[in-house]
Amino acid sequence: MRTVSRRHFLKTASLLSLVGAAPLGLSLAAISRASASAGDYAALVCINMGGGNDHYNTLIPYDASSYNDYASARAQIAIPQTSLGATNLGPVTSQGGQAFALHPALVNLKGIWNQGHLAVVGNVGPLVVPTTVVQYQNDAVPLPAGLLSHPSQADEWARIRAGGAAEDPGWGGRIADLITGQNSNSLFTCVSPQYDLWLAGNSLTQYALDPNAPALMWPLGGLNDPSVTLGGRWPNNPGVGQAFQEMITAPSSNLLQNQLASTNTQSLTAQAALQAHFPSANVFSTPLPPNNVVAEELQTIARMMYARAALGVRRQVCMVNGFGGFDFHGDLLNSQNRLLKELDDALGAFYGWLGEMGLQNQVTVFTMSEFGRQLSASSSGSDHGWGGHQFVLGNAVQGGIYGNVPASRLGVAEDAGHGILVPTTAVDQFGATFAKWMGVSDSDILTIFPNLDNFGSRNLGFLG
């Protein structure tokens, strides 16, 4: 019989609450923390572009020579240069004076670039040590598990485990573990509309907040009915809700039942706080883009930020992970345009909501995607790759292009075949830059990113 560690048991128990009576994952750490000042706030918001975004058609060469290389290599999936003028970024000194444009759907991001608050981090991906194409091809250095595989690379991006235990938490959750002491209420340190491994910490799991309203436990008022009080009621029998509440929070000598009761109690505490303080969507004047799931999830996060003082949070790590479908082996031009427009509209609105709250300096947003794509066309799409480019935005961001953006032609030094890029920036370096900005100490950063000392820089410099 396998022996289960207490840490593994407690984490598993918290996940069981997601599918049992409790509709959300909650911190298993103590709720009581040092008092927090509502005026001091910082948050990370990660947007997961699930499926592997085609980075070659997201940041596009624009000067004549570079564009010709790109168009020749991409054939029928190249974006016409005549479509790129509105998102032309101009020459970039850090990339040898090459000019670039954003995908033509990214007009709001271009506006943030013009303000100096959008960074592109080039050729990021999971690495164990710095790796060349020759070392990769000869298997001469340790490599991340399951390269070019959706689940394996999503796992490597989230955990940075490099051969660690299968139960290792995510680096977003590990950052949250180290900053939650600055919150007077730890329940809302990690927030996402859906559960994601990236936000699972050692002592924290995330609060899964429904975009429509604080989720209520059945039958404590029915499903997602914020008009019902915490004590609950049930048609023709007002005592049922109270009896149910007592049953699911009663202590037990059984370890699993007792842990579930504790989590249920915290769920009810969080439910009561949100019923009292969670604002309606009309608290913002910037309109919600219609039929936009990303914007709806970001607005839910923004509404929680609006209530940050009443909820007792000064530090938060948040994620939008319901944004997938980037695995375009066909119909790349139309399909990616649709998703990037959805992303751009959502980020434009979120930036507006942050401005209304005075939080554009205190909230940093970034993207991640399990891998980039191949440069070579595969019919009307592109196949799985490795390294890719990511966005970072917010008023704390020093705008520009960071890392290395290899030329969009076959046979460059980073090309492992068909335009698959061996990353030149590790996810460890990318994530450590955010951890530092959130106030995590240098020694603690190493506990989150175990491979960091293998690389030359711990901080990529895009955050002031």
User: What pLDDT, on the 0 to 100 scale, is given for residue 269?
Assistant: 74
What is the rounded end-to-end Cα distance, in angstroms, of the chain?
Answer: 51
pLDDT in tens, 315-326: 999 999 878 899
Cβ atoms of 415 and 110 within 8 Å: the answer is: no
Which domains are delineated in the chain?
A: 31-213+278-454 (3.40.720)
User: What pLDDT, on the 0 to 100 scale, is given for residue 31?
Assistant: 28
- Mean pLDDT to the nearest integer, 51-71: 97
**Which element (helix H / strand E) includes 16?**
helix 6-19
Structure tokens at 356: 């209304």
**HSE on the CB side for 280, CA within 13 Å?**
4
What are the distances in angstroms from CA 301 to CA 47, 109, 264, 316, 378? 12, 20, 22, 10, 38
Phi-psi bin for 25: left (phi > 0), alpha (psi -120 to 50), beta? beta
Report the C-alpha gap between 67 and 70 in whole angstroms: 5
Query: Using 50, 70 and 90 to split pLDDT, how confident is the model at 133?
Result: very high
pLDDT in tens, 338-382: 999 999 999 999 999 999 999 999 999 999 999 999 999 998 999
Higher pLDDT, 352 or 202: 352
Structure tokens at 120: 């592109």
Query: Using 50, 70 and 90 to split pLDDT, how confident is the model at 212?
Result: low
- Mean pLDDT to the nearest integer, 165-178: 85
Report the C-alpha gap between 446 and 458 in whole angstroms: 10
Q: Give every CB contact of residue 96 below 8 A, 6+ residues apart in sequence.
A: none
pLDDT in tens, 14-27: 433 333 333 333 33
Cβ atoms of 224 and 215 within 8 Å: the answer is: yes
Q: Give every CB contact of residue 436 below 8 A, 6+ residues apart in sequence.
A: 442, 445, 458, 459, 463
Which 8-state DSSP code applies to residue 291?
T
- Mean pLDDT to the nearest integer, 127-155: 96
Encode 122-145: b = buried (16+ Cβ within 10 Å), e = exposed.
bbbbbbbeebebeebeeeeeebbe
Phi (first) and psi of residue 47, to 5 degrees: -115, 115
User: What pLDDT, on the 0 to 100 scale, is given for residue 242?
Assistant: 67
Burial of 260 (0-12, 13-18, 19+ CB in 10 A): buried
Distance from CA of residue 408 to its chain's centroid?
27
What are the distances in angstroms from CA 100 to CA 85, 305, 334? 10, 34, 21
Report the C-alpha gap between 99 and 121 in whole angstroms: 15
Q: Which residue matches tokens 């491979």?
A: 451
pLDDT in tens, 246-260: 777 778 788 887 777
Cβ atoms of 189 and 27 within 8 Å: the answer is: yes
DSSP-derived 3-state class of residue 18: helix
For the chain, what's the residue count?
464
User: What pLDDT, on the 0 to 100 scale, is given for residue 161?
Assistant: 61
Encode 205-217: b = buried (16+ Cβ within 10 Å), e = exposed.
bbbbbbbebbbbb
Report the C-alpha gap between 366 and 435 in whole angstroms: 13
**Which element (helix H / strand E) includes 59?**
strand 59-61
pLDDT in tens, 81-116: 999 999 999 999 999 999 999 999 999 999 999 999
Least reliable range by pLDDT among 192-196, 281-285, 358-362, 412-416: 192-196
Pairing relationship of beta strands 388-393 and 118-125 according to DSSP bridges: antiparallel
List Cβ<8 Å contacts ≥24 apart for 219-222. Answer: 219/244, 220/244, 220/245, 220/268, 220/271
Query: What residues does 421 pair with on adjacent strands?
Result: 415
Report the C-alpha gap between 210 and 193 in whole angstroms: 6
What strands lie across the sheet with 59-61, from one edge to the other?
59-61, 99-102, 88-91
Which 8-state DSSP code applies to residue 182?
G
List Cβ<8 Å contacts ≥24 apart for 280-285. Answer: 284/352, 284/353, 284/356, 285/356
Query: What residues does 320 pair with on adjacent strands?
Result: 47
Cβ atoms of 193 and 208 within 8 Å: the answer is: yes
Phi (first) and psi of residue 415, to 5 degrees: -85, 115
